């Protein structure tokens, strides 16, 4: 059976039937847990017929003995092993032998959380696909993530401005459990309000920032080519105790993004193509329009070289004056 998407696996489970083997790949552990919960709801194993453990902490001989044993006073047994990418050679070989002939009354659910390593696990992928189902749970891309967040907000009876959803996703990242927790906080934050529309100010308040402390203020100043404002913000962040390497990271991301947009714009790509290729949020289309005002490719190259030098200096504790070094990067970019 070919590898399924998470959505196709969810749809297949709606039929109420399960496979003897499930191999769930990709970094999105949140949606994997939802699928495991759904499989368990279908099988409904009692405590005697259900087992779950991290793969590298399990007694593998005991696990395989259970997998090869008929369920006790039940029609099915369910075993869950998470993080099988951590298995050593011997237990992994034993697992592969089991996958060659799995017991039909056992449903074995495996999760593999390392996409790069999984590319070398050809036997595991092939045997799992032959015995049951392989499904990939890659981290959601930006557009998918904002749609997911908007749907979760809708489930809570909330609506949100586009900028608020984008800010929420960019602040929290692609870890869906953390994102769901922040949406729950937003729900409680506006619980007493008649207007359930989430604004950017609501998002900033819930993630611990005031409007004046927007964590993306430095990034916005850089992408707006506001040199004086960006330099002032670097001073403020360092004076407030921010580590130089953390400030450098806040500077590096928007600079790299601008360089990508500039390169694609000069290559003649259309605005929509640039948005997709650069992994931008829809509201960041303003950056594509502003690309003609960005620094030259020569300036970007010089700036990125200075970023590399600064990173090495900060990590080796050899930077004499972090302010001079960080502001020098901005001066190079906007000279």
* Distance from C-alpha of 121 to C-alpha of 111, rounded to nearest angstrom: 13
Cα separation of the two ends of the chain: 57
- Please report, for the chain, how many H helices and E strands are present, in that order: 17, 8
User: pLDDT band for position 319 (50/70/90)?
Assistant: low
Question: Strands 197-198 and 159-160: what pairing?
Answer: parallel
Contact 71, 45 (CB under 8 A): yes
Q: How sure is the predictor about 277, in pLDDT bands with cuts at 50, 70 and 90?
A: confident
pLDDT at 172 over 90: no
- The predicted structure's pLDDT at residue 294: 92
| Single pTM value for the model | 0.63
pLDDT (tens digit, 9 = 90+) per residue, 252-276?
988 998 999 999 989 888 887 887 7
CA distance 193 to 314: 46
Asked if 331 and 255 touch (Cβ cutoff 8 Å), the reply is no
Question: Would you state the pLDDT for residue 2?
Answer: 61
- Domains defined along the chain, listed by start: 4-136 (3.40.50.300), 142-212 (1.10.8.60), 217-333 (1.20.272.10)
- SS3 breakdown of the chain: % helix, strand, coil, rounded to 5? 60, 10, 30
Answer whether 13's CB lies under 8 Å from 42's CB.
Answer: yes
In this predicted model, what pLDDT tens digit does every residue of 177-188 receive, in sequence order? 888 988 999 999
pLDDT in tens, 213-246: 566 778 888 988 888 888 988 988 888 888 888 8
Q: Structure tokens of 94?
A: 């034993």
Q: Is the pLDDT of residue 281 over 90?
A: no
Residue with the bigger pLDDT between 54 and 270: it is 54
């Amino acid at each position: 059976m070919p590898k399924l998407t998470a959505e196709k696996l969810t749809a297949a489970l709606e039929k109420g039937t399960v496979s003897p083997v499930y191999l769930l790949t990709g970094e999105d552990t949140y949606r994997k847990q939802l699928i495991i919960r759904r499989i368990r709801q279908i099988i409904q194993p009692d405590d005697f017929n259900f087992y779950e453990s991290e793969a590298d902490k399990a007694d593998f001989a005991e696990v395989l003995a259970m997998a090869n044993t008929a369920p006790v006073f039940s029609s099915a047994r369910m075993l869950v092993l998470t993080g099988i990418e951590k298995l050593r050679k011997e237990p992994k070989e034993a697992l592969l032998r089991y996958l060659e002939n799995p017991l039909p009354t056992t449903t074995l659910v495996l999760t593999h959380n390392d996409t790069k390593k999984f590319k070398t696990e050809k036997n595991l992928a092939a045997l799992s696909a032959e015995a049951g189902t392989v499904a990939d749970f890659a981290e959601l891309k930006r557009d998918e993530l904002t749609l997911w967040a908007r749907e979760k907000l809708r489930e809570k009876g909330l609506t949100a401005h586009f900028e608020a959803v984008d800010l929420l996703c960019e602040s929290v990242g692609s870890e869906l459990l953390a994102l769901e927790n922040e949406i729950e906080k937003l729900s409680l934050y506006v619980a007493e309000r008649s207007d359930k529309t989430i604004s950017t100010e609501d998002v900033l308040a819930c993630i611990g920032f005031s409007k004046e402390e927007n964590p993306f203020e430095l990034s916005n100043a850089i992408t707006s080519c506001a040199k004086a404002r960006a330099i002032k913000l670097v001073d403020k962040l360092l004076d407030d105790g921010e580590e130089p390497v953390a400030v450098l990271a806040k500077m590096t991301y928007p600079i790299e993004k601008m360089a990508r947009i500039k390169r694609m714009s000069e290559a003649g790509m259309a605005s929509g193509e640039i948005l997709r290729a650069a992994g931008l949020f829809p509201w960041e289309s303003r950056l594509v329009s502003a690309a003609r005002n960005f620094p030259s490719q020569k300036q970007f190259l010089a700036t990125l070289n200075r970023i590399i030098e600064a990173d090495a200096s900060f990590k080796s504790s050899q930077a004499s004056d972090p302010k001079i070094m960080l502001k020098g990067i901005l001066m190079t970019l906007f000279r």
